[in-house]
Structure 1
Amino acid sequence: MIYSIFAQVYDELMDTEVYENWLTFVNNNAYSGKKLLDLACGAGQLAVMLAKEGYQVTGVDLSSEMLALADERAREDDTKIELVQANMTDLTGLDQFDVVTCGLDSLCYLANQEELANAFRQVFLHLNQGGTFIFDVISPYQTDVIYPGYMYNDTNEKRAFVWESFEGQEPHSVVHDLTFFIAKDEENNLFQRYEETHMERTYELKKYLELLTKVGFKKIRASSEYGNNEIDEKSTRFFFVCQKL
């Protein structure tokens, strides 16, 4: 994947309100301290915002390209965050934290329930007693009803972006085909084409609750709309706040 291309375009397209809402969601639910691990931190938008709020942030991502972008963003904002390349299913060697966050359905990129359970187990092991795990996932309604047939296009003088989504082979899964045309010269006469395929998978609410309980979380709250609403049959995203007691 050309993560750097996707990250730059994604930054341009993503409504900053999403990160502001996530920041509020974390502030409202981070009960136990300021030492925070941001899993799948990507290009570092949320990690930098959290650091500016006074959290001691460690950002983890599997992609070195994403981490390079996160480091660049932190330096530009004169903000200190620690960045670590790691898979969320194996956080061996990392410290203990008061809060762990994983936003923007990053957990849905894990291939199966075993990987998801491993990620939950790793989070639990690296949380201090009383610590909080805050994350979101897309819902089966999003994968089964909203995404299939979805298309989004965005263009400007320097690039064009096409996003198409299709139903995946596994239950509650979706395939995103992304195509980029990026200008190669200053006159914007030549464009390079890049393609990426992203696959996401989610589960029914009861499965998430079952896996979280099995790894040891005792207090689990699930909601929609950043904790502001109850989950119903048309909720597109589940938000979780889990405490290690």
Structure 2
Amino acid sequence: MKNYQKFAAVYDSIMDDSLYDQWTDFSLRHFPKKKKAKLLELACGTGIQSIRFKQTGFDVTGLDLSQDMLDLAAKRAKTVHVDIPFVQGNMLDLSSVGTFDYVTCYSDSICYMEDEVEVGDVFKQVYDHLNEGGIFIFDVHSTYQTDEVFPGYSYHENAEDFAMVWDTYEDEAPHSVVHELTFFIQDEDGRFTRYDEIHEERTYDLLTYDILLEQAGFKNVKVYADFEDKEPRDTSRRWFFVCEK
């Protein structure tokens, strides 16, 4: 467990902290003003965004596939004295979590779904667990990001107690990429342990997302880009969808 905690700490340290501020600000601009609204954060990871939402005044539940990540999230919430239920679960089946006023799924987590059928299934699950008039906000990589920016991307980081190599390649399916991550993390005895991870991500064109959201039942869908309240351009890297039930 100690190694995993270090591993997740490495994840958190390479994540640009300002993104959480931007996700929070974007959400607050697009959620209706409602006191004590119930919010479900999908793919909540180590809980940083869930805590931001809780501190803003929402009644937050966090859901993630990884129990290890959730253990860290619970520990983090306890440290800052906030009470958030963190639920281990799959966003393809939300039957255990009840209903919410708002649902978010940030950090391109939808792009980890295997195909558009799964993406559509997530949208339907979210729709079914939103209260009437509820809002679902998520972001995904643009096709420009997967096709032009990511292939050939390489990032290396060296710190005292860890090193990381991150390479991204084009994958076989349209608009899909593979991230190969290698971490070297220092143990208590000073030795470095190697961890390898492969992350496969896939996105779709705007029309596909629109159709899948409509099929799920969403009636009012707005699309923005790169944390701003502006329409996507050809070179936008991250698309944001604000969907109303």
- The TM-score normalised by the length of structure 2 is 0.95
Q: Give the one of 177, 180, 189 matched to 1:174.
A: 177
Is the partner of 1:171 in helix, strand or coil?
coil
Contact 1:32 1:99 survives alignment (8 Å): no
| CA separation of 1:27 and 1:3: change in aligned 2, threshold 3 A | farther
How far apart are residue 85 of structure 1 and its match? Answer: 0.8
Counterpart in the other structure of 2:217: 216
User: Residues of 1 paired with 2:187 and 2:95: CA distance?
Assistant: 41
Contact 1:32 1:130 survives alignment (8 Å): no
Structure 1 residue runs of 5 or longer lacking an equivalent are none
| CA separation of 1:21 and 1:218: change in aligned 2, threshold 3 A | same
User: Residues of 2 paired with 1:197 and 1:5: CA distance?
Assistant: 18
How far apart are residue 216 of structure 1 and its match? Answer: 0.6
How far apart are residue 5 of structure 1 and its match? Answer: 5.0
How far apart are residue 179 of structure 1 and its match? Answer: 0.2
How far apart are residue 32 of structure 1 and its match? Answer: 6.2
How far apart are residue 234 of structure 1 and its match? Answer: 0.9
Dislocated runs of 4+, deviation >4 Å: 2-6
Counterpart in the other structure of 2:123: 120
User: Residues of 1 paired with 2:112 and 2:157: CA distance?
Assistant: 24
1:61 equivalent to 2:64? Answer yes
Counterpart in the other structure of 2:138: 135
Per-residue CA distance 1:173-214 (angstroms, 9 max, x = gap): 00000000011235x3x2111100000000001100110011
Q: Which amino acid aligns with 1:242?
A: C
Structure 2 residue runs of 5 or longer lacking an equivalent are none
Q: Give the one of 23, 34, 43 matched to 1:40.
A: 43
Q: Which amino acid aligns with 1:58?
A: T
Is the partner of 1:118 in helix, strand or coil?
helix
Per-residue CA distance 1:207-232 (angstroms, 9 max, x = gap): 00110011110100001022322201
Counterpart in the other structure of 2:18: 17
How far apart are residue 16 of structure 1 and its match? Answer: 1.5
- The TM-score normalised by the length of structure 1 is 0.95
Q: Which amino acid aligns with 2:117?
A: E
User: Residues of 2 paired with 1:240 and 1:151: CA distance?
Assistant: 28
Is the partner of 2:13 in helix, strand or coil?
helix
What does 1:192-203 align with in structure 2 at a 5 Å threshold? 192-203=193-204
Is the partner of 2:125 in helix, strand or coil?
helix
User: Residues of 2 paired with 1:102 and 1:84: CA distance?
Assistant: 15
Query: What is the percent sequence identity of the aligned residues?
Result: 46
Contact 1:42 1:70 survives alignment (8 Å): yes
User: Residues of 1 paired with 2:147 and 2:62: CA distance?
Assistant: 31
Counterpart in the other structure of 2:93: 90
User: Residues of 1 paired with 2:4 and 2:151: CA distance?
Assistant: 24
Q: Which amino acid aligns with 2:12?
A: D
Is the partner of 1:92 in helix, strand or coil?
coil
